[in-house]
Amino acid sequence: MEMKTNTHRPIDTAVQDAINDQIQAEFQSAYIYLAMSAKFEHMSLNGFAHWLRLQWQEETAHAMKFYEFLLQRDGVVELKELERPAVSFSSPLEAFEQVLEHEQYITSRINNLYDLATEKRDYPLQNLLQWFIDEQVEEEDSARSVIDSLKLIGDAGPNLFLLDRELGARQPE
């Protein structure tokens, strides 16, 4: 009797390319947040700097999740060039508005990747992306909550010092 097997097919090239692009996007996010962190250190807002440095670590971990996934699927990892991060802000509020905008851009990329995984019937990738979809809800929410606090307290003064202390207490995940 002939046995029917249902193994995973080799990874589709369009999916592989899209994952490699996403590895680049996650490392690029890490690079942007590290540059922002350095700028906050210069502004003597070490809590903001700490928060962004942890974000740099998280983004690196995101890139590595895609990297490991591609290798597990017997795909080819192709690391791409990173752009010089164009970090320019004149206040903490402006910086965190940029963080939120960047995360919204990453969310749209994850959604597009999910559409591709669905179109190509790549079930393992759909599964991995479920984690990223939830993560993006958190990422946008945490940027938004810093923006809300900054709007309440303003961009300077003793309350900014307190918020800086609060952000400085962020723990790695």
The footprint of ligand OFO on this chain (CB under 6 A) covers a number of residues equal to 7
How far apart CA 168 and CA 48 sit, in angstroms, is 6
How far apart CA 158 and CA 164 sit, in angstroms, is 10
First-residue to last-residue Cα distance in the chain:
51
In this structure, the chain runs to a length of: 173
- Closer residue to ligand OFO, CB minimum distance, 142 or 159: 142
Enumerate residues 37-66 that contact ligand OFO by CB under 6 A.
59, 62
Contact status: 122 vs ligand OFO (CB under 6 A) = no
Among 16, 24, 29, 37, interactor with ligand OFO by CB under 6 A: 29
How far apart CA 10 and CA 128 sit, in angstroms, is 17
Among 24, 26, 36, 50, interactor with ligand OFO by CB under 6 A: 26
The CA-CA-CA angle for residues 138, 140, 145, to 5°, reads: 90
Contact status: 164 vs ligand OFO (CB under 6 A) = no
Contact status: 106 vs ligand OFO (CB under 6 A) = yes
Q: How far is the CB of 171 from ligand OFO (least distance, A)?
A: 18
Residue 36 contacts residue 53 (beta carbons within 8 Å): no
- Closer residue to ligand OFO, CB minimum distance, 62 or 73: 62
User: Nearest to ligand OFO by Cβ — which residue?
Assistant: 29
How many Cα atoms are found within 13 Å in the side-chain-facing hemisphere of 60? 11
* Binding stretches for ligand OFO (CB under 6 A): 26, 29, 59, 62, 103, 106, 139
